[in-house]
Amino acid sequence: ARAEERRRHLRSQWELLEHQLLLTTVGDRVEEQMLQGMELHEVKDRYPTEDTYVQTYVPLIWAEIGASLQRAVTEQEYPQEQLVVVGYNEPRVSRTLHLDFGFQERAILRPLAKDQRTEKMLYYTEMDVVLLCFGGRATGQAGQASTRQASGPPGWPLPGRPASPDVQTQPDTADAFQFFGRVVKYQPNPPLDKARGSPRARVMIPRHLREAVVRSNALGDKARWRVQKLLSLSPSYQTFKAVVTIGSSPLFASLMGGWPPLLGAPNPLNPKLKAWLHTQFNQSQVDAIEAAVGRHEGLTLIRGPPGTGKTRTIVGLLVALCDSQAQRPEGRAIRILVCTPSNTATDEIALRLMDTRLLSGQPLNVVRTGVAEKVHLKVRESIYIDTLINRRTQES
């Protein structure tokens, strides 16, 4: 019973944060809007209680989502797709609306590397944040009012009402409105008897947009929508879940109090490597690398807000570990398994390691595993395990 209560509490907390994301206005202040009402606390080495730990890290998780969302809107890694509305639903106990969309075109050309384009189907998951855009009108000319009765697909509870006379239609090139949504359900291969569209997606939007959506005739048969995939909330949700439920973790005591510092321990880095690190990293990053290399038991937790160079520090740590092992008398090869909560994060580290060498000039021997379709094209063509096996087979 207590476990079920904790799960409900966790879900309700996440829904509150998620709703704040959906209320965020698309623009250049996404991160600032998402942190509205939150207080950022100083990150410390030790925490007296579980609550102080949670209060410190939940806003940081949300700040990281905001920064990633802002970057996704700016960089537009994924292409836009054309949609038509095939359903509308208003859950009774919810602050959101559900819109069902059918995809008009699915032959998508997605840029995967500079100067390279490959045909690749876009897929969505239930935790994806998308940018929804609606532009133009089903009837009327640009600059003139439309009074067509708003109507949705048959069988769906759409509160039809005429558009207000003061609502002006927009030119075809303008967006009547755009906002963030979260994918609730995705069907890549729906039943053949479904009307309109091939794959289908149910997207959750804030309830306060109901009037604007209905008044703008955005649910009509010829309403033109576009969707753009931005990012997945799944890794952030797993991090949020781990932070909020930290009290039940076997690492709770260690994370709250920390392990004793390595005072008086010999420096694990050789002078040449340490000098190189100081030319590439700031002092806090060098301290983190030294702490991780010098510890032979327990774990090293490297923490920091978005943009502080955690991924860069990981790359430096891997170089330091490999270089330190190479200096040992036994000279045995070291194998390090790098795990991340997402394929994107894994590929980011892999791409950096591909361009990194040890102080001796020797390249790192990196092997990427995983599902081929989810691996970055450059990584897949260079260090993906199947590619390496095929290359070795051909050479022999």
Looking at the fold, whether 27 and 90 belong to one and the same domain comes out as yes
Looking at the fold, whether 386 and 329 belong to one and the same domain comes out as yes
Owning domain of residue 387: 249-395
The 10s digit of each residue's pLDDT in 260-278 is 555 445 556 788 888 999 9
Q: Give SS3 for 391.
A: helix
Q: Is the pTM of this model over 0.75?
A: no
Mean per-residue pLDDT, 87-111: 67
CB atoms within 10 A of CB 96: 23
Looking at the fold, whether 38 and 149 belong to one and the same domain comes out as yes
- Take residue 394 and report the two structure tokens written for it: 């051909």
Domain boundary among 214, 248, 282: 248
DSSP class of residue 182 equals E
pLDDT at site 259: 56
pLDDT tops 80 at residue 138: no
Looking at the fold, whether 156 and 61 belong to one and the same domain comes out as yes
Looking at the fold, whether 240 and 279 belong to one and the same domain comes out as no
Looking at the fold, whether 317 and 225 belong to one and the same domain comes out as no
d(CA 39, CA 351): 35
The 10s digit of each residue's pLDDT in 159-175 is 332 233 233 333 344 45
pLDDT tops 90 at residue 316: yes
The 10s digit of each residue's pLDDT in 25-59 is 888 788 888 888 888 888 777 788 888 888 888 88
Mean per-residue pLDDT, 320-332: 68
Share of the chain above pLDDT 70, in %: 74
CB atoms within 10 A of CB 260: 7
pLDDT tops 80 at residue 136: no
Looking at the fold, whether 217 and 240 belong to one and the same domain comes out as yes
The larger pLDDT score, comparing residue 98 to residue 147, is at 98
Q: Which residue has the tokens 């394929």?
A: 343
Looking at the fold, whether 17 and 119 belong to one and the same domain comes out as yes
pLDDT at site 40: 85
Looking at the fold, whether 127 and 13 belong to one and the same domain comes out as yes
Long-range contacts of 232-238 (CB under 8 A, 24+ apart): 232/125, 232/127, 232/128, 232/129, 232/342, 233/18, 233/65, 233/127, 233/128, 233/129, 233/182, 234/125, 234/127, 234/341, 234/342, 235/341, 235/342, 235/345, 236/61, 236/64, 236/65, 237/14, 237/127, 238/341
Please tell me the total count of domains within the chain.
2
- Take residue 392 and report the two structure tokens written for it: 């070795």
pLDDT tops 50 at residue 111: no
Q: Which of 136-150, 325-339, 342-356, 366-380 has the lowest mean pLDDT?
A: 136-150
Single-letter amino acid code for the residue at 187: Q
The 10s digit of each residue's pLDDT in 271-314 is 888 899 999 999 989 988 988 888 777 778 887 766 788 999 99
pLDDT tops 70 at residue 216: yes
Domain boundary among 194, 218, 248: 248
Contact criterion met (CB below 8 Å) for 338 and 346:
yes
- Take residue 87 and report the two structure tokens written for it: 């359903």
Looking at the fold, whether 277 and 360 belong to one and the same domain comes out as yes
d(CA 307, CA 305): 6
pLDDT at site 7: 76
Dihedral, CA of residue 188, residue 191, residue 192 and residue 193, to nearest 10: -130
Domain boundary among 248, 278, 304: 248
Looking at the fold, whether 110 and 124 belong to one and the same domain comes out as yes
Looking at the fold, whether 209 and 278 belong to one and the same domain comes out as no
